[in-house]
Structure 1
Amino acid sequence: MGYQECYKETNELAAERYELVAERIAEIAEAAQAPEPFAEYFRTNATYLQSLRALYEKGKSGSLAARSMEECEADNEALYGEILPEAYGHSYANPAYAAARLGETFGGALSLLAAHLRTACGEVFRGNLMQLTIAMELFVEVYNCFEGAAADALPQEKEVQQILYWYFHDYREIFDERSVRRLVNPAEDFEKEIVMQADLSDLRYLYRYGAYIGENERQIAAYLNTLPEADIQAMADTYTEGYRIGFDTTGKDLSKKTAAQVRYPIGFERMVRAAVCNFEKMGLEVTMLASGTAPTSSMTTITGDRACYLDRRTWARTRDGKTHLRKKKYANGMAGPAVIEVFGEELSRRQEAFRYGEKQQQLCV
């Protein structure tokens, strides 16, 4: 079972809801009925959701992989252009700009919403219709609070925050299931399909992830393509042997395990392909987690979305959920992550973003 099968059931459940909410998104993009500057906010983000819908439809038809390099770059710019450093100062995903433009009452919550919508991008490339649908429904639900309101009769701050809270609470199990499945179940092979089957000499493959592709990713991939196979194999051997030796050193029996998770930066696929073969010779299947360069600090810290909803009730929902039990078979065979580290990225947190309180920090731990 490949990754498409992982989403088949939930996609069927989401199909009718998706068509209905997509119509609503189109109406908002064309003419949001809200006082300014909120109308601009909703038009901008509805237009972004429409671009995600267009990419989902391309993926459904099988035409994503056939895009030209120019199309790949244009789509990448459309998805991430506004949160690149040169544009981030005027992005609603930036809590500071959102607070300045929309006011402190709603700036934090609406910036969180804009940033959360952008996390659906990778799900679109995986063909995860449910994730796209519920993100679109959340956006429409928040918009409904402002639709038709007079400038002096805006919704209560708590009303918007409660919508966000119950969204993250009610869909906690979906988020947890997705996260755990990608960690432990080799059937979730989206990244592996790219690594093992793509023509790595054709750098269009980088854009199949749906992640931001910048100079780091392009130059690393291009450089690895210049290396002889012996050098690539030596790099992979160092990586996988270090993993194996770690088990020997700590006295753990790797032969009892059936899988390992390969975590790697996008651009390293040629070396990762060799590493996957090494792991398979050890008797280990792989799950994979690829990461791209964050376009700006907003996407590495997001906007503190968990600080918006984390309390004892949502913590207990994760703790008491059945997700981990359903994945027990795979979890028991998971040897753990094999990580290719990256360093040098600058992280920052905007003071307008949501932050953990003391009790939330304890729950998070």
Structure 2
Amino acid sequence: MSKTFYQQTDDILERFQLATERISTIKEDHDLPEKLQAYFNQVADFFMTVLPIMNKAADGTLFDRTITECEKDNDAVFAIYGEDTYKNSFLCPTYAVAELGQELGGPLSAIFYEMTNIIEAAFAGRLDKFTIYAELFLQVYGECQMEEEDKYRKEGILDAMYSAKHDYSQLFMSESIISMIDADYDYYRNIIMKDDLSDDRYMYKYGMYIGPNERKIAAHLRSLPHEDVVAMARTYVEGYIKGFEVTGKDITIKDTVGVHAPVGFELMTREAIRLFDEAGLASTVRFGGMTSRNLYSSVPNKQCEYDHKDDRAYYWDKGMADRMLEVLKNTFEKNKELAAVFGGPAVIETFGEKPFEPVNHDANAKYSDKQNELNVYFASQNGQITNEYIHGEERSFTIIAYPIPEIGKDFNEIFNETVAVNTMDYELYKNIQQHIIDVLDQGETVHITGRGDNHTDITVKLHHLDNPAKQTNFENCVADVNIPVGEVFTSPELEGTNGVLHVTQVYLNELGYRNLELKFEEGKIVSYTCSNFDSEEENKKYIYDNVLFKHDTLPMGEFAIGTNTRAFVMGQKYGIADKLPILIAEKTGPHFAVGDTCYSHAEDVPMYNPDGKECIARDNSCSLLRNEDISKAYFNCHTDITIPYYELGDITVHTADGRTLDVIRQGRFVIPGTEELNKVLDS
């Protein structure tokens, strides 16, 4: 039975009409200083641009638009993100501060960014949400009219922002959680399953930016034989199901799966949802937009998203954090039966967008040290509450990735090669990787070095195997939770893991790093740097914010050897190595993850390789703290950093009795039985 989060009432309708009518007259006002009035005029113009969408959704005519009207509306509402438009608008913090000064520029730019959420509200026909944003905007306008000094105006703006976030957290947070676990909230899934996917108009119902990538990938999937699309979906669904099998988790106690998919892939997503249904799993599909996965589309301006990523700093305090955690806890408690049968996410990622290296601007919001401590606390508590209701030892996931047309002129070839990489021989790689594991399991430590410009020199300590006949340190990872095949991995002992990890260039979470260097002592990061910015202070902050996620240090949660040399060669052949997602990139060389282990929240669940041996390296000295103080055990992040084969020197196993066993020499596998991996590298 289909559900909805929202029922229109006369009160909401009246508030909506009053608020939008007042916004429509703001440009007639002349009460404020010229530049300040210009800000409110610009935001009011944005409201008036989106308002016709809201009205069409409310009266049921939005879906009657022609494709030309859809494209015109799309261009109009997302015009604020155009590079030139953005740089010269109050949506840009740098421009806003230059025009309005330090006191008002940043907060008002953050308010403008908050107002962009009316786009999603309008397309979904949500008068309630649209009205909340409209009333917040008018409240801020009123605060600026009541005060004459900027410092008092700023206080009013921040108070309004705080009150709105606090008062409406119940609506926004609970809706996000419930739409993840309850398949009866099916607005977006219905579009995927019921619309005519041969007509591009379906994708203009979402309320997301629709650009060339979305339109071209939809056209490409329509050009493929139907059986090929079904095969893609089956690989994805079977990977999810295998993820439960290989980790010894019971999928029969799960009723739902969270489908994360890019706009344009609906033909594949539809087939996947059908296959999940056949497996007894109902799919949830929730709005992601441009800043998260779930149902998502291209980001029209990544610098804008980066400029506003820390806007929460304007209102973030312990009271707000505790209010949000309270809502999280209460929502899960009221829906604990649904949470218990949620199996986890099944994710389709894309790659191929132009690599993005952000520019830091002084005008952007910045967290204080106290707020950064609060961020760590909030993430820890959030993770603990979520795991209390969606048990880590019972859930699983899968991730698969495909290129988008922006990757370049070889898109068709790259797409076909990616499909081939995603469906490589399971048995072949299982056997090859077992040869590698058999050598690694003899070791006490593993020594990894770089070559050429790469100066990696790090020793990884392995767990002791009490019974090598029945135990192993490394998981034989084929194609299940992480598609494609191609890695063996372990959670190292922290004590005894020391050295320097260096990569000349890498992209992590869609951000580029040049000469990223991390130094480890006893398994934890003790220093870090890169060469992205002119000042060392900026380089360190960049890593602190986006790799350490505001932790003072992180442990090494994983050491792995990627074996998918075909994926590596694909990256080199087409010049797309810098565009490969971490899902594929981690298979193209040894990699090290900082943060939680791969077994986070599921360390006590036995894990067995295909040969029957138990993977005993599921813990480290950090995760073991869960038995004393769970807040100190987890970091709620896991970032893989890969050394490509051409920067890799040697990987050598050192045994307790003094022997040395090479796994890789100068970027080539040397263990008997792994020769197949070198063929594609040498061809």
Say whether the fold is shared (TM-score over 0.5).
yes
User: Residues 252 and 12 of structure 1: is their aligned pair in 2 closer, same or farther, counting only changes over 3 Å?
Assistant: farther
User: Residues 350 and 241 of structure 1: is their aligned pair in 2 closer, same or farther, counting only changes over 3 Å?
Assistant: farther
Cα distance in structure 2, aligned partners of 1:249 and 1:282: 17
Match of 1:6 in 2: 5
Cα distance in structure 2, aligned partners of 1:39 and 1:143: 9
Q: Which has the higher strand share?
A: 2
Cα distance in structure 2, aligned partners of 1:156 and 1:30: 21
* Aligned residue pair count: 362
Is 1:219 the counterpart of 2:216? The answer is yes
Match of 1:98 in 2: 96
Match of 1:146 in 2: 144
CA shift at 1:65, angstroms?
1.1
User: Residues 155 and 212 of structure 1: is their aligned pair in 2 closer, same or farther, counting only changes over 3 Å?
Assistant: same
Match of 1:341 among 330, 340, 349: 349
Q: What secondary structure does 1:251 align onto?
A: coil
CA shift at 1:113, angstroms?
0.7
CA shift at 1:298, angstroms?
4.7
User: Residues 276 and 299 of structure 1: is their aligned pair in 2 closer, same or farther, counting only changes over 3 Å?
Assistant: farther
Q: What secondary structure does 2:259 align onto?
A: strand
User: Residues 43 and 203 of structure 1: is their aligned pair in 2 closer, same or farther, counting only changes over 3 Å?
Assistant: same
Cα distance in structure 2, aligned partners of 1:347 and 1:255: 44
Q: What secondary structure does 1:200 align onto?
A: coil
CA shift at 1:358, angstroms?
2.6
One-letter amino acid matched to 1:2 = S
Is 1:60 the counterpart of 2:58? The answer is yes
Higher mean displacement: 329-338 or 319-328: 319-328
User: Residues 229 and 153 of structure 1: is their aligned pair in 2 closer, same or farther, counting only changes over 3 Å?
Assistant: closer
Asked if the contact 2:182/2:338 (under 8 Å) is kept, the reply is: yes
One-letter amino acid matched to 1:161 = L
Match of 1:315 in 2: 321
Give a deviation string over 1:158-212, Cα, whole Å, max 9, x none.
Answer: 2222221222122111121121122111122121011011111111111111111
CA shift at 1:30, angstroms?
4.0
Q: What secondary structure does 1:356 align onto?
A: coil
Match of 1:361 in 2: 372
Match of 1:243 in 2: 240
5+ residue gaps, structure 2: 286-293, 380-683
Match of 2:305 in 1: 300
Map 1:15-94 → 2, pairs under 5 A: 15-31=13-29, 33-94=31-92
Match of 2:334 in 1: 326
TM-score computed with the length of structure 1 as normaliser: 0.93
Asked if the contact 2:258/2:284 (under 8 Å) is kept, the reply is: yes
Match of 1:113 in 2: 111
User: Residues 299 and 96 of structure 1: is their aligned pair in 2 closer, same or farther, counting only changes over 3 Å?
Assistant: closer
Cα distance in structure 2, aligned partners of 1:222 and 1:153: 52
Is 1:252 the counterpart of 2:249? The answer is yes
CA shift at 1:50, angstroms?
2.2
Cα distance in structure 2, aligned partners of 1:298 and 1:7: 33
User: Residues 262 and 104 of structure 1: is their aligned pair in 2 closer, same or farther, counting only changes over 3 Å?
Assistant: same
CA shift at 1:34, angstroms?
1.9
CA shift at 1:351, angstroms?
3.5
TM-score computed with the length of structure 2 as normaliser: 0.51
CA shift at 1:127, angstroms?
1.7
Asked if the contact 2:261/2:295 (under 8 Å) is kept, the reply is: yes
Asked if the contact 2:94/2:362 (under 8 Å) is kept, the reply is: yes
Q: What secondary structure does 1:34 align onto?
A: coil
Q: What secondary structure does 2:207 align onto?
A: coil
User: Residues 41 and 294 of structure 1: is their aligned pair in 2 closer, same or farther, counting only changes over 3 Å?
Assistant: same
Cα distance in structure 2, aligned partners of 1:167 and 1:176: 13
Higher mean displacement: 155-164 or 189-198: 155-164
Give a deviation string over 1:25-75, Cα, whole Å, max 9, x none.
Answer: 112144453221111111111121123222111012221111112211111
Cα distance in structure 2, aligned partners of 1:248 and 1:107: 54
Give a deviation string over 1:260-295, Cα, whole Å, max 9, x none.
Answer: 110111111110000000110111111113101111
Cα distance in structure 2, aligned partners of 1:191 and 1:32: 43
User: Residues 254 and 29 of structure 1: is their aligned pair in 2 closer, same or farther, counting only changes over 3 Å?
Assistant: farther
User: Residues 257 and 13 of structure 1: is their aligned pair in 2 closer, same or farther, counting only changes over 3 Å?
Assistant: farther
One-letter amino acid matched to 2:174 = E
User: Residues 155 and 28 of structure 1: is their aligned pair in 2 closer, same or farther, counting only changes over 3 Å?
Assistant: farther
Map 1:196-235 → 2, pairs under 5 A: 196-235=193-232
Root-mean-square deviation (Å): 2.0
One-letter amino acid matched to 1:63 = T
Cα distance in structure 2, aligned partners of 1:83 and 1:74: 15
Cα distance in structure 1, aligned partners of 2:297 and 2:11: 31
CA shift at 1:325, angstroms?
1.7
Match of 1:275 in 2: 272
One-letter amino acid matched to 2:2 = G
One-letter amino acid matched to 1:210 = G
Q: What secondary structure does 2:257 align onto?
A: strand
Asked if the contact 1:206/1:267 (under 8 Å) is kept, the reply is: yes
Cα distance in structure 2, aligned partners of 1:240 and 1:13: 45
Give a deviation string over 1:105-154, Cα, whole Å, max 9, x none.
Answer: 1111111111111022112211222111110001001111223766x777
CA shift at 1:6, angstroms?
2.0
5+ residue gaps, structure 1: none
Match of 2:612 in 1: none
Match of 2:159 among 148, 158, 162: 162
CA shift at 1:78, angstroms?
1.4
Asked if the contact 1:261/1:286 (under 8 Å) is kept, the reply is: yes
Cα distance in structure 1, aligned partners of 2:317 and 2:151: 27
Match of 1:176 in 2: 173
User: Residues 47 and 361 of structure 1: is their aligned pair in 2 closer, same or farther, counting only changes over 3 Å?
Assistant: same
One-letter amino acid matched to 1:93 = L
Q: What secondary structure does 1:360 align onto?
A: helix
User: Residues 253 and 300 of structure 1: is their aligned pair in 2 closer, same or farther, counting only changes over 3 Å?
Assistant: farther
Higher mean displacement: 341-350 or 137-146: 341-350
Match of 2:633 in 1: none
Structure 1 or 2, whichever has the larger Rg, is 2
Higher mean displacement: 342-351 or 160-169: 342-351
Cα distance in structure 1, aligned partners of 2:165 and 2:17: 22
